[in-house]
């Protein structure tokens, strides 16, 4: 679960194809990117406001207290600041404001697949930081980064991938993703990535299975979306949210579980989906890391860790990596 912008699904067919494929497979699996419709967006805002959901406050704490050290660690006040999945930029604006105050020479280049999100962010920045140079790039991360690399303006690139979003990839996929990013960078370029740290398992469990049931509502809203957009007949009372956390591999995994043997029709797909009693749909993974895990991931993807910026509770780290020669 992350705090970046939700992807905008512009083609219903993409949603339909993914839902049909995910519910026809065994075991069943659906992408967490489909959590985010209008209701899902609001529920995620509610999640971020929960006392149990520590991630947003932890990274806010890092940026507020360590912004000077972060800029110093960049090693140069002339750079391209590139943010992947920028969203509304709430936390990033802490850094933007400070960098401008220090008269750093940089261009802010948010990347997102949602043009609407980028326009809103650019408008907000123009109003809040009139001197900030903003050059938004709409599109897939690696394609957008490749375009930026082709410009070859000889300025160091500093890529932000914040909010613990790397944790939404199982480890093999995380390695693939970072290696792809590395091909779009030059030796000496930097990557500042947010990692949710391994901690007391009870703290992690509560963040994804809160007593108020907000996370459960957020996950189950996916079934409501299928009902609304694809003519599904899911009865939400017959399903439950289930969360597990494995402290060994650091994976928090979310599931939607059928409480009984049932058949669910999805009209627009002309699909009948059978659920055995207690059969689960895997919907999200949120991986947690140790500092050793982070160092190994950097090494295996061609980077070296320059600095780890940790919050006061040691719940979260923004890790600054440099691409090796």
Q: What is the pLDDT of residue 117?
A: 78
Instruction: Let me know: does 320 contact 306? Beta carbons within 8 Å.
Output: yes
Separation between Cα atoms, residue 192 and residue 162, nearest integer Å? 7
Q: Which residues, other chains included, contact 104 with Cβ-Cβ below 8 Å and sequence gap of 6+?
A: 71, 77, 78, 79
Within 10 Å of residue 281's Cβ, how many Cβ atoms?
A: 22
Q: Using one digit for the tens of pLDDT, what is the confidence trace for 26-66? A: 999 999 989 988 898 889 889 988 999 999 899 999 999 99
Structural Rg of the chain based on CA atoms: 20
What stretches in the chain show pLDDT beneath 50?
3-12
Q: Using one digit for the tens of pLDDT, what is the confidence trace for 110-154? A: 998 777 778 889 999 999 999 999 998 887 888 888 888 887 678
State the chain's maximal CA–CA distance in angstroms: 63
Half-sphere exposure of 112 (CA within 13 A, CB side): 24
Instruction: Let me know: does 145 contact 82? Beta carbons within 8 Å.
Output: yes
Report the number of secondary-structure helices (H) and strands (E) in the chain: 10, 14
Q: What is the pLDDT of residue 1?
A: 62
Q: Read off the pTM.
A: 0.86
């Amino acid at each position: 679960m992350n705090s970046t912008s939700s992807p905008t699904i512009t083609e219903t067919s993409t949603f339909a194809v993914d839902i049909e494929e995910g519910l026809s497979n065994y075991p069943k699996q659906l992408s967490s990117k489909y959590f985010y419709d209008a209701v899902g967006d609001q529920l995620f805002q509610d999640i971020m406001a929960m006392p149990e959901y520590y991630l947003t406050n932890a990274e806010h704490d890092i940026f507020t207290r360590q912004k000077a050290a972060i800029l110093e660690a960049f090693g140069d006040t002339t750079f391209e600041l590139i943010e992947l999945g920028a969203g509304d930029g709430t936390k990033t604006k802490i850094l933007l404001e400070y960098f401008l105050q220090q008269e750093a020479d940089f261009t802010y280049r948010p990347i997102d697949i949602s043009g609407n999100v980028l326009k809103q962010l650019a408008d907000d920045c123009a109003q809040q930081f009139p001197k900030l140079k903003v050059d938004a790039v709409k599109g897939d991360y690696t394609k957008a980064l490749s375009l930026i690399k082709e410009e070859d303006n000889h300025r160091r690139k500093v890529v932000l991938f914040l909010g613990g979003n790397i944790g939404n990839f199982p480890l093999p996929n995380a390695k693939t993703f970072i290696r792809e990013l590395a091909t779009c960078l030059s030796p000496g370029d930097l990557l500042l990535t947010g990692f949710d740290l391994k901690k007391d398992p009870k703290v992690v469990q509560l963040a994804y299975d809160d007593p108020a049931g907000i996370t459960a509502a957020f996950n189950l809203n996916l079934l409501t979306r299928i009902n609304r957009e694809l003519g599904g007949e899911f009865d939400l009372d017959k399903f439950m949210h289930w969360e597990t956390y494995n402290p060994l591999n650091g994976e928090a995994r979310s599931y939607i579980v059928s409480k009984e043997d049932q058949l669910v029709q999805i009209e627009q797909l002309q699909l009948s989906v059978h659920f055995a009693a207690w059969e689960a749909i895997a919907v999200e993974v949120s991986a947690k890391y140790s500092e050793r895990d982070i160092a190994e991931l950097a090494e295996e993807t061609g980077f070296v860790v320059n600095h780890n910026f940790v919050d006061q509770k040691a719940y979260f780290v923004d890790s600054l990596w440099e691409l090796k020669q």
